[in-house]
Amino acid sequence: MMDRSINLPLFRYHPDPLFTGSIIQSNAKCSACGQMRGYIYTSTVYSSYDLEDEICPWCIADGSAARKFEATFCDDLPLIDAGIDAAIIQEVTTRTPGYDSWQQDAWLTHCNDACAFLGDASKEDVLSIAKDGLQVASGEWIDQETMRGIAQNYRAKGSPAFYKFKCLHCGKILYGVDFD
Ligand SMILES: [Zn+2]
Ligand SMILES: [Zn+2]
């Protein structure tokens, strides 16, 4: 089990970044605050600086890493396209840990808000999606037949990848998909 003795900052839109793997225990020094905080962010950073495994969760949470390096941690375009409030987009892109994706991360939305990212879908999740087929965020439809085939061979962090999100308002579970 992961060590939960240190309280990480709370991220409304990414409630368990240790579980999703975006944040890991590490002795790496944070390039924003210059300290070894015991945890480091491992996932997507959009910045002109190379910041792989170099930012601590606290410098994400307070926005200081985003300010210092003009960094964002996920793409704002899907959120803009969904008509999400600018303050929410700001929180998700600059004060929330992002996630690993193959080609393009896309933060899902529901009920006029960004959803909480829950991590890679489990095999059980993908099997349950396969019962109905899947409407992908881009509007494409993956039919039941195709989904069943995918589910047979699915493993988390493989390709295709399924990312699980939950609406913070109605509780609906949504999945994003990406391929290598
Ligand atoms: Zn820091
Ligand atoms: Zn909803």
Ligand 1 mean position, distance from CA 42 (Å) = 13
Kindly report the backbone phi and psi dihedral angles of residue 85, in degrees, each rounded to the nearest multiple of 5, phi listed first.
-55, 140
Within its chain, how far is the Cα of 25 from the centroid? 18
Question: How do residues 89-111 score in pLDDT, each as one tens digit?
Answer: 999 999 999 999 888 889 999 99
The pLDDT, as a whole number, for residue 42 is 97
- Whether residue 163 contacts residue 121, with contact meaning beta carbons closer than 8 Å, is answered with yes
What is the per-residue pLDDT for 86? 98
Other CB atoms within 10 A of residue 29 CB: 14
How many A from CA of 137 to the centre of ligand 2?
A: 14
Ligand nearest to the CA of 64: 1
Expressed in angstroms and rounded, the spacing between residue 17 Cα and the centre of ligand 1 is 16
38: CA distance to ligand 1 center in Å?
A: 10
Report the share of the chain in percent with pLDDT over 90.
67
Domain ranges of the chain: 17-102, 116-178
Specify which residues 46 forms β-bridges with.
72
Angle at 34 (CA atoms; ends 30, 35), nearest 5 degrees: 75
Task: Determine the distance separating the centroid of ligand 2 and the alpha carbon of 174, expressed in angstroms.
Answer: 9
The Å distance, Cα 54 to ligand 1 centre, comes to 8
> pTM of the full predicted structure?
0.91
**C-alpha angle with apex 164: 157 to 159, nearest 5 degrees?**
25
